[in-house]
Structure 1
Amino acid sequence: MDLTRRSLLIGAAGLPLASRTTGDPFTLGVASGDPTADGIVLWTRLAPRPLADGGLGGMPDRDVDVEWQLAEDERFTRVVRSGTATARPSWAHSVHVEPAGLRPGREYFYRFRTGGHLSPTGRTRTAPAPGTAPDLAFGVVSCSNYEHGYFTAYRRLADQQPDLVLHLGDYIYEYGPGGYENSTGTIVRSHTEHRCQTLAQFRLRHAQYKTDPDLRALHALAPWIAVNDDHEVENDWAGAHPGTSGRPHFTQRKIAGYRAYYEHMPLRRSALPRGSGIRLHRRLAWGDLATFHVLDTRQFRDEQPCDDGLRAGCAARLAPGRTLVGSAQRAWLAAGLRASRTRWNMLAQQIFMAQHDYHLGPGKEVVVDTWDGYTADRDRVLGDIAASGARNPVVLTGDIHCHYASDLLADFDDLDSRRIGVELVTTSVTSDGDGYDTPAALAAELAENPHIAYADQRRGFIAARLTPTELRADFHTLPYVTKRHAPSTVAASFTVADGTHRLSRSAVPGRRAPQAAAAGAPRRS
């Protein structure tokens, strides 16, 4: 069912009026997330002036009661849960509600009200019940830089009517105005003042991103499973090691970045930040069809070797003791995979897992901010996946600003080695601007990396459909993001049949077989 403008505004009837406030406090929209078979997270944040100085959205410095409703129909004639939440200034007047006892596999509608103002209506759904395995349509997105373009990819994904959205990091970028120059030097719209370092600055930046109507539309359409990467704090940070801003005040930046991330995302109370940390690795089941194992590849990693970036001859990346996910998270993942009885096991994480050699010929040149910088940990995790017996492992990845489809091998230098699973990498929503469509170096890149079946440096998203017998992934691309209203087209499609651990290219109806973009170092930053 489409959430039209009319349906979003339907019916304040049934909600008692309270004293009215000045200015619509629901400018940042509504969102839902982390669905279970009997529950969901509902989110909003009160901000009548979202870009007001101080990062509090123009709200008074006092607690505000917010009523909420969850219904089985968009007219709210069958309300099944309701209540009042307190929006506190200490948490930027954000609201996280976790209604429980819901029916599995059901579509629900929700809304908020305060001070005589009614929020837009959001649509959400619970996960299916154990023992059932209905088909799942889901989208995968990553890397949305406000300055580099319009968030049209979010709108085009919403057009696909997904049941679930996975956001794999870089939801915001922390740079000051013009601080991250893309390949064309084009700034479409400017960031709020200052590089994000304080809580107020991070709150302003999140609010600015949520002023984008296409982002709000995708949030309101379906529940999200979200996890951060580096730019929600700062570029290229790793565990206790700062990124490009340097060490002074790094811990304070992490505290501020994580607090603002929680305040603006539909996360459960289990993710409430504590000190400079936040619990984001988690596991969500979708009936007997799939388990989503969500990984955190930032908080527990060792520092990137060899001064980060694209490097050749970096022996440090091969050190056996280096870790990306940390021993505790790796043990958590291995245990979850061993216990899984679902048909598909989706590992939602941030950075390119497959080996990617950018050097043509003997020797290797790799990006050490990916799993290539942590080869021993990659071997351990792939070994854990293989040993677990978990059915149909699929790694879902963001970060790299390119589409990729890869097979995951026990030994990437030996095509005859054991096939562990597949990796689907989504390109960016906007980061690095319009992107490229230059296929000249495709043959050389894929010959150097024969386990990689597809690459494309344009902007877009992945729209996937999961059934008990097959995963189909459509790689959507947009011709531009520096102008509004771009269409999206399916540039390539791949399927994975149950039990095969192997990608198969599928025809795109009505189109010639697409060609991937040119090789070369990725522009992620």
Structure 2
Amino acid sequence: MTPAVSPDRRRFLTAGAAVLGAAASAQLWLPAAARAAETPLPDGVFSLGVASGDPLPDGIVLWTRLAPDPLNGGGMPARTVPVEWQIAEDERFRKGVRRGLAQARPEYGHSVHVDVRGLRPGRTYWFRFRTSGQLSPVGRTRTAPSRLSSGGQLRVALASCQNWQHGYFTPYADMLAQDPDVVVFVGDYIYESTPSATALRKHEGTGEPYSLTQYRNRYAQYRTDPDLAAMHANAPFVVTFDDHEIDNDFAGEIPQDPDKQTHDAFVARLTAGYQAFYEHMPVRAFAIPDGPHIQMYRRLDFGRLARLNVLDTRQYRSDQVTSQEAAKSPSLTMLGAEQREWLLDGLHGSPARWNLVASQIMVAETDLLIGEGKQWFYDAWDGYQVERNALMAEFAEVRNPVVLTGDRHLTMISDLKKDYADPGSDVVGAEFVGTSISSNGDQDQAAFRKEWDPRMPDNPHWKLLDAHRGYHLFDLRRDGIDAQVRIVDTVRQPTAAASTLAKLRVESGKPGVHVV
């Protein structure tokens, strides 16, 4: 996948190219003479920490953003600032591997994205930044295994839906202790909702974000959560967005409330929201937005053990329908023709034992109607029946497809069926809908069971439902995937007790999932 490069992007890419091949050196930092002309910056430029992402066998993206006043536009002078970076094989930086100079530009919120190459596969590295005499926290990251590696183990954490106002991000503290190789985040990194006077933690600002500065402030607030910051500093993330990074339930360039947001106004909002997303995520330069568009679907390989296909189920979808008949229209699309072809090519041509699909929204059927008939959840794949069923037919020809999903604020683990209208239809894969990090807060478990348990007979493909906050943890090996549903007892306090709610297993060559 090679997106077209606009002139603005070309300038950015050219400016960043110098950092890719910086040679190793015993003297990791640049000479003092190279920094003599620097104008001192305000204290606290690394308030938003460090992160890494999108691991390759020979490369990783290193991220930071200079923001001494993070909730008020960043607080940086309106000039380009040179930022030194270094990456080493040890946390004391005695075994330096690469170093270089990146440019933190005001037009990108003084964010820094360093695409380091020339690293060794399957290795742990440490990294940090420095500018104006200030040193960043140290980050730890890991490259993907060699492309020809067929054995070993991969530990993956699945996270989504972290609403600042609903609670602390305490599940990340347990995730950190579980030490995943990579974190897959499938959407709703921020919420665009207005500040609430009754919220546990109040959103910054005075309303929903619309401008670039407002989105920057909202992302910066979320980045100050200590558990999220610690997790970013200790493992690479693979991120995609859902709706709340922009506007609830939007589809393409259609807002949730088109009677209140004109097309031009919403395009401006998309432009601001996508740029702020890029500025705060450890993604490569292909994701630099082009106005109201951003390249987000992409593919990462972890040797021959796993292939991860990251979807974008927002930018190319048809608007949501509101009836069962409308959901059956063959004209509706979730992925768009180009992304759908890209996905199928990647699945059918995959050399991997496990073919993972990161989908922001649920693929398996949700029948909300108790008894005869069906009532679907139209914002999910249920609202795009023809394309979903065609995808499930393709899954039947794919080796070990497993979908990793968010959005629902619930743990919903299911068999994927070739045809949900036929109870005897073949199982073609498994889906793990991860619960939220904090969204919905500490949910009333008795009320949840009263509402959802009666629906279980109408959804026999569901294997596990739960409403605790947390995340999912997967250990991938050639013979199977061992999954844990990790939950916390509360998100209403800065610390929480974590436990394993359930263990599940997916066997290689046997589609579906079962509770251990």
Q: Which residue of 2 aligns with 1:330?
A: 340
SS of the residue 1:394 aligns to: strand
Quick one: which amino acid aligns to residue 261 of structure 2?
R
Q: Does 1:107 align with 2:154?
A: no
**DSSP 3-state at the match of 2:233:** helix
1:45 is aligned to 65
Please report how far the alpha carbon of residue 303 of structure 1 lies from its aligned counterpart in structure 2 after TM superposition: 0.4
Shift of 1:244: 3.6
**What secondary structure sits across from 1:330 in the alignment?**
helix
Do structure 1's residue 172 and structure 2's residue 224 form an aligned pair? no
1:143 maps to what in 2? 161
Residue number among 470, 486, 489 corresponding to 1:460 in the alignment? 470
Contact 1:128 1:134 in 2 (8 A): no
1:446 deviates by 1.5
1:279 aligned partner, one-letter code: Q
What's the CA shift for 1:275? 1.8
Alignment correspondent of 2:201? 188
Shift of 1:414: 2.6
- Matches for 1:95-494 after TM superposition, within 5 Å: 95-132=112-149, 133-178=151-196, 186-244=199-257, 246-248=260-262, 249-306=265-322, 314-386=324-396, 389-438=397-446, 439-440=449-450, 443-494=453-504
Distance 1:458 1:334, change over 3 A: same
Residue-by-residue CA offset, 1:354-390 (whole Å, 9 max, x unaligned): 001111001112211001111111012112222xx33
**Deviation for aligned residue 1:153:** 1.2
Structure 1, unmatched stretches of 5+, are 1-12, 180-184, 307-312, 507-525
Aligned to 1:30: 50
State the alpha-carbon separation in 1 of the partners of residues 314 and 504 from structure 2: 29
C-alpha contact (below 8 Å) 1:147/1:191 kept by paired residues: no
1:491-517 CA-to-partner distances (Å, cap 9, x unmatched) read: 1111001110121211xxxxxxxxxxx
Distance 2:152 2:286 in 1: 28
Q: Distance in 2 between matches of 1:462 and 1:96?
A: 28
2:507 paired residue number: 497
> CA separation in 2, counterparts of 1:284 and 1:96?
18
Post-superposition Cα deviations, 1:60-84, rounded to whole Å, max 9, x if no partner, equal 0111000000101111011111000
Q: Deviations over 1:121-165 (max 9, x none)?
A: 111011000221320111000011111100111222111111100
Deviations 1:251-290 (A, max 9, x none): 0000000000000000101111112111100000000100
The 10-residue stretch of structure 1 (204-213 or 189-198) with the greater mean CA deviation from structure 2:
189-198
For residue 440 of structure 1, report the CA deviation from its aligned partner.
Answer: 4.0
Say which SS state the counterpart of residue 415 (structure 2) adopts: strand
Distance 1:331 1:199 in 2: 33
**Aligned equivalents of 1:446, 1:197: Cα separation in 2:** 40
Q: Deviations over 1:215-245 (max 9, x none)?
A: 1001001001000000111111001211247
Query: What is the CA–CA distance in structure 2 between the aligned matches of 1:73 and 1:144, rounded to whole Å?
Result: 32
Misfit runs of 4+, over 6 Å? none
Q: State the alpha-carbon separation in 2 of the partners of residues 186 and 40 from structure 1.
A: 37
Q: What are structure 2's unaligned runs of at least 5 residues?
A: 1-26
The superposition leaves residues 155-214 of structure 1 with CA deviations (integer Å, 9 ceiling, x where unpaired) of 2211111110000000001112129xxxxx643333333211000100000011111111
* Cα distance in structure 1, aligned partners of 2:93 and 2:69: 28
The Cα shift of 1:458 comes to: 1.6
Worse-superposed segment, 322-331 or 410-419: 410-419
Q: Which amino acid in structure 2 is aligned with residue 65 of structure 1? A: P
Deviation string for 1:329-350 (max 9, x for gaps)? 1000011111101000000010
Answer yes or no: is the 8 Å Cα contact 2:195–2:202 preserved in 1. no
* Alignment-mate amino acid for residue 362 of structure 2: F
Q: CA deviation at 1:416?
A: 2.2
Task: Tell me which moved more, 155-164 or 223-232.
Answer: 155-164
Q: Retained in 2: the 8 A contact 1:194–1:201?
A: no
User: Over aligned residue pairs, what C-alpha RMSD do you find?
Assistant: 1.6
Counterpart residue type for residue 353 of structure 2:
R
Aligned residue in 2 for 1:509: none
Partners in 2 of 1:79 and 1:372 — Cα distance? 51
TM-fit CA distance, 1:247 = 3.0
SS in structure 1 of the partner of residue 270 of structure 2: helix
Q: Deviations over 1:17-71 (max 9, x none)?
A: 645533120000000000011111000000011112xx2x110011100000010
Task: Tell me how many residue pairs correspond in the alignment.
Answer: 479
Is the Cα–Cα contact under 8 Å of residues 446 and 453 in structure 1 kept in the other structure? no
Q: Please state whether the residue corresponding to 2:278 is helix, strand or coil.
A: helix
**What's the CA shift for 1:443?**
4.3
Query: What does residue 108 of structure 2 align with?
Result: 91
CA contact (8 A) 1:241 1:247 kept: no
> Which residue of the partner structure matches residue 522 of structure 1?
none
Distance 1:22 1:93 in 2: 13
- Could you report, residue by residue, the CA deviation over 1:465-511 in whole angstroms, capped at 9, with x for unpaired residues? 111111011111222211220111111111001110121211xxxxx
